[in-house]
Amino acid sequence: MKFRLPDYFRVFFLSVMLASCSESKSVFAFREVRPIDEEMLESVLYRPSEFRIVKPPVEFMDGHDLWMSYTPARKKAATPYAISLAHKSLDFMEIDLRNRTLDASVGSIVDRYQNLKPGEYRFRIALDGKIIDELYFRIIPGRGTGYLDYDAPLSTDPQLP
């Protein structure tokens, strides 16, 4: 008698093999934070510990500090990664370029971007002179329709119910 594995075991083993052979992906994650008064000590020491993983289309509100966390698929601890931030006018124009190494405590690059105006942006990550990843996102006006701002004063318009 020949031994035969049940079909669900075959599917399980096949999925495990495919998952282990597939190339892992890099991860962009973000956190929007209301700006802290620059004179406060907290503004220098603050660093978020939780980030939200994003998938396109990516949108953030203006008027917030944008914290970015990037975890590369293949990590090189001591090698500097070049991070380019570009704003679109007619074409993408580079507005910020930084070199960062991986933070050993989290295995990611964590950085803050401030005063981003509404519009389209692009992050590009380069390693050893080659672009390894990019992400397009938009900054939208924070006071637009569809957003609640619990810090704003209540309206005193007599026409509202």
**pLDDT per position as a tens digit, 109-124:** 999 998 899 999 999 9
Predicted local distance difference test score (pLDDT) of residue 74: 86
In this predicted structure, what is the pLDDT of residue 48? 79
For the entire predicted model, the pTM comes to: 0.68
Q: Over range 85-96, report the average pLDDT.
A: 94
Domain ranges of the chain: 25-140
What pLDDT does residue 63 have?
85
**Structure letter (DSSP) for residue 54:** -
CATH 2.60.40.1930 at 25-140, yes or no:
yes
pLDDT for the residue numbered 11 = 39
3-state secondary structure (DSSP) of residue 119: strand
pLDDT above 60 (res 17): no
Written as six digits, the tokens of 98 are: 């930084």
Query: Is residue 39 very low, low, confident or very high in pLDDT (cuts 50, 70, 90)?
Result: low
State the average pLDDT over residues 44-54: 79
What distance in Å separates the CA atoms of residue 21 and residue 128, rounded to the nearest whole number?
25
Q: How many angstroms separate the CA atoms of 133 and 149, rounded?
A: 34
Q: Give yes or no for residue 133 having a pLDDT over 80.
A: yes
